[in-house]
Amino acid sequence: MTTPSGATIRLEQARRLYHAGQPDEVRALDGVDLTISPGEYLSIEGPSGSGKTTLLNLLGLLDVPTQGRVLWQGAPVERLPERERTRLRRTGIGFIFQRFYLLPTLTALENVELPLQARGLAGAARRRRAQALLAQVGLSDREGSFPHQLSGGEEQRVAIARALANSPQLLLADEPTGELDSVRARQVLDLLEEAHRSTGAAVVVVTHNPTVAARAARHLTMRDGRIVTDSGGR
Amino acid sequence: MNAGRWSSRWRSLRHRTAQTILAIAAIGAAVALPVVLLSVGGGVFSHELSSIEESGFSISIDSAASHGISNAHALTKEIDAISGVQAASPMLSVPVDLFPPGGSVVPVLAEGVIPAAFLETQSAAERSLLPSSLSLGDPDDTIHYDNGTYAGPSSAQLLLSTPLLQTLDLTSGTVVGLSPSTNASAGSAFTIVGSFGLPPGLLGPSPLFVALLPLSQLQSLVGLAHSPTGTLLDSADSIQIAMVPSLAASPSGVQRVASEVQGLVPYYSVTSLTQQTTEIEGAEAIITGFYVGLSSIGLIVGLLFLVIILLRRVEQERQSIGIRRAIGVPGWMVARDIVAEALGLTLGGVCVGVAGGILTVELLARYTSGTISDIASLAVFDPAELVLLAIALVGLALLASFLPVRRALRLSLPEVLR
Ligand SMILES: Nc1ncnc2c1ncn2[C@@H]1O[C@H](COP(=O)(O)OP(=O)(O)OP(=O)(O)O)[C@@H](O)[C@H]1O
Ligand SMILES: [Mg+2]
């Protein structure tokens, strides 16, 4: 698939405007160039409203830039139909959200099975894989629990298991510890680091928290829709 | 899918019980209406059709005004001669007064017939209610009505309907008076020689007190034998014509005979059974169309309800849908789940509606009285019609999911996941 030197994802002069051309136009991203290589661990910091989530949405193919290009493993994707971007998200990208976003009507195990089912994996094989993933995040005993029966830390660990289900090349986390106390936050960060090491996936963590950012090897800072510092990269 | 999926589906359904009940009730009500209308309407029409078919004669001549077919005996003979005619029977129906022994007066409907021919024009069902031969002493009505005169001896015999016989507590052999007016002396005496049953008349009133006697004797009694000037009238009000069995089932054969008969009597109305059947079937098609139209209004309201509930659910679940889309669940899977939900609600509604419709008709038939009960008890539930209705609803359900599916697939993920 990718040669070691080929980028996992690359933004070229990416610009994202809201209400473009209207008086209340917002330049959420204003010409961002960014290359993320396989296996990188990268943090993004910046004040509220500086465009961190907007950037992450472009990297996760949840959104497309108003101008500029997005290259996924070398191929432009900003004009692909939604169906194709959905396929790339399914096979290549894992998401971890600040508010966990588990499906409330599914058990922990069923939540982890969801991306496997979307990929067409069925029956016992799917169940076994989901069980192994839950074991990996230390929640074997909570398979049948519903999200509302789990603590915040446990919910986020289920979300990590779900994000890892289809062995993504890119893991995106937006404030993954924003709603957790420091003990639980450390557990989640350890798991993320462990996943990074064992799968070789590139990891991008958006955070306000310096101790979270400190785990990364490369640090970006954003202001007003631009990347203002980029340090520690290879 | 697997058990886990279904149990989760069931759980999410329970979360929204009130909505589910509301949707199923709305669709159920929309379905119950056509079930009731079509089953009852179809039942009434098929009853009408079968009662026409059971009436046995396949062509009938009616005079425009009552008592208008003169020279009935001669005309009947001419019709008898047409090939394909099995029997022709003139009839005269006149209300008269009956005077049983003891001095009371009872209004009855007197039917003057040619006994043998009358029997032949009756259906098997009606014949079973009559004596095996109408023993009125004059099977061809030729003794009294002799070559166009009323010179022969009168048999002076009659048959009475069973309800009349029972009500008046009369028996065979009793002599009663029959008169066109309340003045007994204006009439003459008849001997009761037997009784006959009456076919059940569900729609419209049917006379219970009926007397059957030879045509010529009724004509003499009520003054329809001769005009005031003394010329011969020999009057009847209708002539019923039975076809030979090989023709009875052939509409074109019946039609040919009917037009030959019409040629004999251009001034009377000649109707054939096939014509009547066609008319009733035409009316049924119109009424059914009306019912379907009326029902579709109900179904459209049910459909709109379903669309609104599905849209609400998409709105309530926009985050869940967004999460699923974000982690790569294909659009068709999201669409499939919405369609499955629409189908589930619709099929639930169909079951409730069909059961409710059948129950309504059943209750109407059992616990109401009079016409409503009579009509309800005629209802027929045509399985093919019910299946068609269910298929139509499945189609509507697919239609109803279109908008909600589109809304779900057009959710903006960054907005939903903010
Ligand atoms: N759907 C939208 N419509 C209009 N403006 C938007 C929309 N989404 C984001 N914005 C604006 O774009 C800018 C960048 O938003 P973004 O969510 O990327 O910031 P952020 O760095 O993630 O902030 P935070 O740290 O608070 O999460 C902000 O000014 C925000 O108000
Ligand atoms: Mg943000």
Q: How confident is the model at residue B2, as a pLDDT?
A: 47
Determine, yes or no, domain membership for A47.
yes
Q: How confident is the model at residue A2, as a pLDDT?
A: 42
Residue B136 and residue B213 in contact, taking contact as beta carbons nearer than 8 Å: yes
CATH of the domain at A53: 3.40.50.300
Determine, yes or no, domain membership for A1.
no
Token readout for B59 is 């062509």
Token readout for A29 is 């991203």
Which domain range does residue A40 map to?
9-231
State pLDDT tens for residues A48-83: 999 999 999 999 999 999 999 999 999 999 999 999
CB burial of residue B330 (10 Å; 0-12, 13-18, 19+): middle
Q: Which residues of B touch A63 (CB under 8 A)?
A: 413-414
Looking at the CA of A46, which ligand is closest?
1
- Residue whose pair of structure tokens reads 């239609």 in the numeric block: B399
DSSP E strand stretches across chain A: 9-18, 26-36, 41-45, 67-72, 75-76, 93-96, 170-174, 202-206, 218-223, 226-231
Which of B2, B319, B331 faces A86 most closely, judged by CB atoms? Answer: B331
- Centre of ligand 1 to C-alpha B48, Å, is 74
Q: Helix H segments across A93-181? A: 108-118, 123-136, 152-164
Q: How confident is the model at residue A3, as a pLDDT?
A: 43
Determine, yes or no, domain membership for A167.
yes
Q: How confident is the model at residue B15, as a pLDDT?
A: 60
Residue A18 and residue A26 in contact, taking contact as beta carbons nearer than 8 Å: yes
**Ligand 1, residues at Cβ distance < 6 Å:** A 18, 26, 28, 46, 48-54; B 415
Q: Tell me the C-alpha distance between B240 and B235, whole Å.
A: 14
Listed residue (B87, B192, B2) closest to A109, CA to CA? B2
Residue A44 and residue A55 in contact, taking contact as beta carbons nearer than 8 Å: yes
Q: Tell me the C-alpha distance between A7 and A14, whole Å.
A: 16
Determine, yes or no, domain membership for A4.
no
Q: Which of B12, B316, B327, B409 to mutate to test the interface with A (most CBs of A within 10 A)?
A: B327
CA distances from A97 to A124, B71, B321, B412 (A): 28, 102, 15, 16
**SS3 (DSSP) at A11:** strand
Average pLDDT, chain A: 94
Which of B5, B8, B327 faces A118 most closely, judged by CB atoms? Answer: B327
Pocket test for ligand 1, best of A43, A53, A207 (most atoms within 8 A of CB): A53
Q: Which residues of A touch B320 (CB under 8 A)?
A: 103-105
Number of domains forming the structure of chain A: 1
Q: What residues does A94 pair with on adjacent strands?
A: A171
Q: Tell me the C-alpha distance between B204 and B206, whole Å.
A: 6
CB burial of residue A224 (10 Å; 0-12, 13-18, 19+): middle
Pocket test for ligand 1, best of A15, A52, A172 (most atoms within 8 A of CB): A52
Determine, yes or no, domain membership for A103.
yes
Determine, yes or no, domain membership for A129.
yes
What is Dmax (Cα atoms) for chain A? 56
Which of B15, B327, B413 faces A105 most closely, judged by CB atoms? Answer: B15
Contacts of B362 (CB under 8 A, 6+ apart): B376
Determine, yes or no, domain membership for A3.
no
Q: Tell me the C-alpha distance between B60 and B173, whole Å.
A: 34
- The tens-digit pLDDT sequence of chain B (418 residues) is 445 555 655 666 566 788 888 889 999 999 999 899 889 888 888 888 777 766 656 788 887 555 578 889 999 999 999 988 988 999 999 999 999 998 889 999 999 999 988 888 887 777 888 888 888 888 889 889 987 888 888 889 999 998 898 888 999 999 999 999 888 888 999 999 999 888 765 555 567 899 999 999 999 998 888 888 888 888 898 898 888 877 776 777 888 888 888 888 888 888 887 777 778 888 888 888 888 888 888 888 888 989 999 999 999 999 999 999 999 999 999 999 999 999 999 999 999 999 999 999 999 988 888 888 888 888 888 888 888 888 988 998 999 999 999 999 999 999 999 8
